[in-house]
Chain A
Amino acid sequence: MLTIVLFAEDSEEKIFSFEDETYHSTELSDLLQSIKKNPINVNMADEKELALIPWLSEKDIQKIILYRNSYKISRLEDLTEIGIDAVTVNELKDYITFRLAIDLKLKQTSRLEYHQPKQHLPSTLKYFQKTIFKFNNFKLGFISQKDEGEKDPIDFYSYFLEYSGKDLLKKVLIGKYRLALGQGILFAPKLGMSKSGAATSTPVKKFNPIRPYTSSYEIWELEGAAANIQLSSLSIIPFFSNTFLSANLDTLDCITSFNESGLHFDDDKKNNVQEMIYGLATKFSPTDHSFGINFAKINFDHHFNNPSRKNEYSAISTDFIINRSGFPVFGEIAYAQKKTAGVMGCKFGENNLRHLLLIRHYQKDFPTWHGNPFSSQSRFDNEVGIYYGITIIPMDRTKINCYFDLWSFPETRYFEKMPTVGSEQFIQIEKKFVANSIRISVQHKDKEKYISLDEAKIRDFERTTFRADWWQNIDNFRFKTRCELVTEYLANDAIHESGILVYEEIKWKIDKLTLIGQVAVYHSDVLHYMYEHNVDGIMQNSILKGDGAYSYFVMKYNFLQSMELQFKVSDHWNTKDQMRMYFQVVSSF
Chain B
Amino acid sequence: MKLFIIILLLIFTILSAIDLHLPSSAVHNATSGLVLIYPSPSAASSNPACYFPGIETSATYLFSMEDLPFYNFHLQYKYRDLGFHIGSSFLAHPLYKESSSMFTINYAYHEFTVGSSIRYLYNMVEEYHEDSALLVDIGLLWQNGNLLTGLSVRNTTHSHFLEEQLPIVYLWESCFSITNKSRISVGLEKETNFDFAFKIAGRYDIHKVLTILSSYQYEPDRIGVGAIFNLSKINICYSIRTHQYLSLNHYISINYVF
A residues sitting closer than 8 Å to B (CB atoms) are 2, 5-6, 9, 348-350, 352-353, 355, 357, 386, 388, 390, 392, 394, 402, 404, 406, 408, 421, 423, 425, 446, 453
B244 at the interface (CB under 8 A from A): yes
Interchain residue pairs A-B with the least CB separation, the first 3 = A404-B216, A353-B182, A423-B221
- Please pick, from A350, A386, A394, A425, the residue contacting B242 in the complex, using a CB distance under 8 A: A386
Min CB–CB distance B55 → chain A (angstroms) = 29
- Are A6 and B146 interface neighbours, CB within 8 A? yes
User: Which of B41-49, B118-126, B189-197, B199-207 is the contact stretch?
Assistant: B199-207
Query: CA separation between A382 and B245, bound complex, in Å?
Result: 15
Min CB–CB distance B206 → chain A (angstroms) = 7
Contacts A348-B206, A406-B223, A406-B242; A6 near B212 (Cβ below 8 A): no
Contacts of A390 in B (CB 8 A): 184, 200, 202
Most buried by A among B176, B181, B206, B223: B223
Q: Mark B215-228, 1 if CB is under 8 A from A, else 0.
A: 11010011101000
User: Main secondary structure on chain B at its contact with chain A?
Assistant: strand
Contacts of A349 in B (CB 8 A): 182, 202, 204
Query: CA separation between A392 and B179, bound complex, in Å?
Result: 12
Query: CA separation between A453 and B206, bound complex, in Å?
Result: 43
Query: CA separation between A47 and B70, bound complex, in Å?
Result: 66
- Are B218 and A353 interface neighbours, CB within 8 A? no
- Are A388 and B180 interface neighbours, CB within 8 A? no
- Are A425 and B218 interface neighbours, CB within 8 A? yes
Contacts of A2 in B (CB 8 A): 146
Contacts A349-B182, A349-B202, A353-B202; A386 near B223 (Cβ below 8 A): yes
Query: CA separation between A392 and B176, bound complex, in Å?
Result: 11
- Are B245 and A352 interface neighbours, CB within 8 A? no
Contacts of B180 in A (CB 8 A): 9
B214 at the interface (CB under 8 A from A): yes
B interface residue count range (under 10 / 10 to 19 / 20 to 34 / 35 or more): 20 to 34
B18 at the interface (CB under 8 A from A): no
Min CB–CB distance A417 → chain B (angstroms) = 16
Query: CA separation between A442 and B92, bound complex, in Å?
Result: 42
- Are B245 and A421 interface neighbours, CB within 8 A? yes
- Are A353 and B204 interface neighbours, CB within 8 A? yes
- Are B146 and A406 interface neighbours, CB within 8 A? no
Min CB–CB distance B155 → chain A (angstroms) = 27
Query: CA separation between A421 and B243, bound complex, in Å?
Result: 10
Query: CA separation between A421 and B200, bound complex, in Å?
Result: 21
Query: CA separation between A351 and B118, bound complex, in Å?
Result: 43
Query: CA separation between A353 and B202, bound complex, in Å?
Result: 9
26 contacts between A and B (CB under 8 A): A2-B146, A6-B146, A6-B179, A9-B179, A348-B212, A349-B202, A350-B181, A352-B179, A353-B179, A353-B202, A353-B204, A355-B202, A357-B214, A357-B225, A386-B242, A388-B214, A388-B223, A390-B200, A392-B184, A402-B200, A404-B216, A404-B218, A404-B223, A406-B242, A423-B221, A453-B5
Contacts A357-B225, A394-B178, A423-B221; A406 near B244 (Cβ below 8 A): yes
